[in-house]
Structure 1
Amino acid sequence: MDESTPSSHRKKRHLSRRGVIGAAGAVAAGAALTPVVFAAGESDDATTTDAGTKPETFPATRSAAATGTGTATTAFAASYVAVRWKGTTDGAGIRFGDGAWQPLTAGCATVEDGGTALVAADAARSYEVKAPDGATAVHSLAIDTTDGPDRTFKVPSGPTRMRGVRYLSRPAWGADESLRHKDGQVDSPEQYYPLQTITVHHTATPNADPDPAATVRGIYEFHAVTNDWGDIGYHFLIDEAGVIYEGRYSGDDGLPAFDPDGNLVTAFHTAGYNSGNLGIALLGTPADQGPTDAAKASLTRLIKVIARFKGLDPQAKVTFVNPVNGVTKDVPVVSGHRDWLETDCPGQTMYDLLAEVRAAAAPR
């Protein structure tokens, strides 16, 4: 990673829960959280309300770690397998059961010292990893986000909005906050800097996802544990139905992505250029096919309200200056991941639509 690289993260099984697509806002297990709810439309006036809570049950996320290459088996049907190694990125592969080998590619996630991948496992109970020649520190994590034992959470009955845009808070999609901690301390402490740019990504997970909130939980486990980032890498994620998910933890004030002073929490989505750069990821792979109309509409509106909130012009170009190390990069204010690094992200079709998104998000 870059200036925000956390220290080594232990591999454990952690609790999580099923996402609720129709619900928004939530509380951590057993503890009340009063969400910040913004006035309807795109008002700059914030009001705090107590919407009340109700108990709901969700499955715990189960995970099983393995090291090295060879075959690994699990006691549960895996939703995803995450893999991380040091060394060249070419030549890594995975196969499930007696199936065919498939290459391991980073998709959106990038690390500076090797390769990483998250692969849909289709309920497999065994898999085999093949590492590139000379690779070291190979480890994998089988993840089940759908069939673990139930756990009860207190979920607010009212919606949570950011400047008129409804979103699911971290507890509402099942973010297990223990993933952010190690040895009783936050593994990747929050740092805040003024917002300069917005970067669009895709998650490189399957399209037509039947349970996108479960996929968000899988990505969280992948980023926080396997990639050792201590949290999910994006500030927001958007599924094909247009549902927006809060990503990187930014404090308990109820305002996603920002602190009370309006500074952006550093996340882990664009290696070397994270601080001051807000990341939004579309769930799925918008490469040969474009995003759904609902996803594109939510992306456009989210960019519009954030740009208005921070006084950015979505159609402008800027020289990004990393506030940690001074590294600069000339990029659009609203960029694609590939504008920063060599990657396919956010998919060719989505990348080609960014000009349309910028124009639609610009002030009129």
Structure 2
Amino acid sequence: MPNPSSAVSRRTLVTAIGATAAAIATAPAAHAAAPSTTAAPSTPAPAAPGTQAARTVTVPATRARSAAGRAAAGVRTDFPIQYVGVSWDGPRRGGAIRLHHEETGPGSWQPIATGCAGGPDVAGTAAKAAPVSAALVPAGGAVGYDLRLPDGATNLRSTALDTTTGPARTTTLSPTTPVTFCGVEYLSRAAWGADESKRFKNGVENSPAKYYPLQTLTVHHTDTPNADPDPAATVRAIYEYHAITNDWGDIGYHFLIDEAGRIYEGRWSGDDGIPGHDANGNAVTAFHTAGFNSGNLGVALLGTLVNQEPTAKARRSLALVLALAARTHGLDPQAHVTFVNPVNGVTKPVDLISGHRDWLATDCPGGIMYGTLPALRAEVAAL
């Protein structure tokens, strides 16, 4: 069982990650590339000799329209909707959505498959998923939608999201993109277009970062469409849904991985250049397993893995991220441990590399992906 009171120093963290990256250099993960919705970088100002200049790029600003109660059941927009974020209190099964398209009008009713149970950890209380039922539904450019709830459901909330056609927003990238940390490439939050203002509410950070020693690693899928033509836009939709609609203050995962194997930095963890950690090597708390977040690192594969496996590139990047985390923190990828939440004392016996459904009542990370976890643990241990 991991020692919840231990911490990894920054020097140990950097050294261990560097050693792990070197050990797997013979079979690296897919190189990351700039998000497809990021415009061509502007011409950088001349840099001083021997230095590199930062670059500015433009990313579509996220447009959103939120509603609650009766108003949330019938929404029309003046922008194309890529996703509809929906949540309610009550039964997980039985909800339905009907999309409206400008040319064809209302479509047929489709069932809503509620997705991952997430949310913050609460001190002094037992683990509880919140909201009870939630989904991020692809809308394909619809201009409106109607919602139908299961019997007994209350407190409906919905948000229409456009992450591709909004007004251009300028952001600053590091001199090189993608960012490379100890030989491992990933897309920083700025590179995929995270609007950091969304972490704040009324001028105050909504969910200030907290850090704890890492104990476990959890695999998710995002339950979004496969063969995604614009995964960066999907990451921005998840960010908006988690940070604003669900009021978590940030995206719920530490890392996300698309089908091309690109690794996306998730939960904000500071400006020290160590994704997912603070300068002392403790893991930032995210929101991917309500009640079991603190000391638990969440990695989400973009797509739906109910009836199909992840791509080879996505799986390789997943194994890489898990191997880096396990070796850095001295964890055995094939161990069975007792997780102890340092915030509320909740305990859970679980595999060190687990699936979301091992923690909470959810289908995540999809039936096919879940069935491959024993093989994944062996792959990670072999790196």
Q: TM-score, normalised by structure 2?
A: 0.80
Counterparts of 1:162-201 in structure 2 under 5 Å? 162-201=181-220
Tell me what 1:80 maps to.
83
Distance 1:183 1:332 in 2: 40
1:155 to 173, 178, 188: 173
- What code does the residue aligned with 1:327 have? V
Report deviation, 1:323: 0.7
Runs ≥4 in structure 1, deviation > 6 angstroms? none
Q: Structure 2: any 5+ residue segments left out of the alignment?
A: 1-30, 39-49, 101-105, 119-128
Tell me what 1:293 maps to.
312
Tell me what 1:17 maps to.
none
Tell me what 1:323 maps to.
342
Tell whether the 8 Å contact from 1:87 to 1:113 is kept in structure 2 after alignment.
no
Tell me what 2:134 maps to.
116
Tell whether the 8 Å contact from 2:69 to 2:156 is kept in structure 1 after alignment.
yes
User: Quick check: 1:226 aligned with 2:245?
Assistant: yes
- What code does the residue aligned with 1:344 have? D
Distance 1:254 1:356 in 2: 31
Report deviation, 1:354: 1.4
Distance 1:114 1:295 in 2: 29
- What code does the residue aligned with 2:93 have? D
Structure 2 vs 1, CA of residues 127 and 317 (structure 1 numbering), >3 Å: closer, same or farther? same
Distance 1:342 1:114 in 2: 10
| 3-state SS in 2 of match to 1:362 | helix
Tell me what 2:276 maps to.
257
Counterparts of 1:1-364 in structure 2 under 5 Å? 22-23=33-34, 51-69=52-70, 70-97=73-100, 98-110=106-118, 111-158=129-176, 159-362=178-381
| 3-state SS in 1 of match to 2:161 | strand
- What code does the residue aligned with 2:161 have? I
- What code does the residue aligned with 1:22 have? A
- What code does the residue aligned with 2:108 have? A
Distance 1:326 1:65 in 2: 35
Structure 2 vs 1, CA of residues 153 and 74 (structure 1 numbering), >3 Å: closer, same or farther? same
Distance 2:297 2:61 in 1: 29
- What code does the residue aligned with 2:372 have? L
Distance 1:319 1:195 in 2: 13
Percent of pairs with identical residues: 58
Structure 2 vs 1, CA of residues 197 and 51 (structure 1 numbering), >3 Å: closer, same or farther? farther
- What code does the residue aligned with 2:99 have? F
Report deviation, 1:161: 2.4
Task: Judge which range, 272-281 or 156-165, deviates more.
Answer: 156-165
Distance 2:376 2:117 in 1: 23
Distance 1:52 1:352 in 2: 46
Distance 1:313 1:160 in 2: 28
Report deviation, 1:362: 1.1
Task: Judge which range, 50-59 or 183-192, deviates more.
Answer: 50-59
| 3-state SS in 1 of match to 2:190 | helix
Report deviation, 1:128: 0.4
Work out which of the two has the higher radius of gyration on C-alpha atoms and give 1 or 2. 2
Report deviation, 1:135: 2.7
State the Cα deviation string for residues 195-234 of structure 1 (Å, max 9, x = none). 0000000000000000000000000111111111111000
| 3-state SS in 2 of match to 1:298 | helix
Report deviation, 1:237: 0.2
Distance 2:51 2:240 in 1: 30
Distance 1:53 1:145 in 2: 24
Tell whether the 8 Å contact from 1:240 to 1:291 is kept in structure 2 after alignment.
yes
State the Cα deviation string for residues 228-248 of structure 1 (Å, max 9, x = none). 111100000000000000001
- What code does the residue aligned with 1:232 have? I
State the Cα deviation string for residues 171-206 of structure 1 (Å, max 9, x = none). 110111111101111111111110000000000000
Tell whether the 8 Å contact from 2:116 to 2:363 is kept in structure 1 after alignment.
yes
Structure 2 vs 1, CA of residues 92 and 300 (structure 1 numbering), >3 Å: closer, same or farther? same
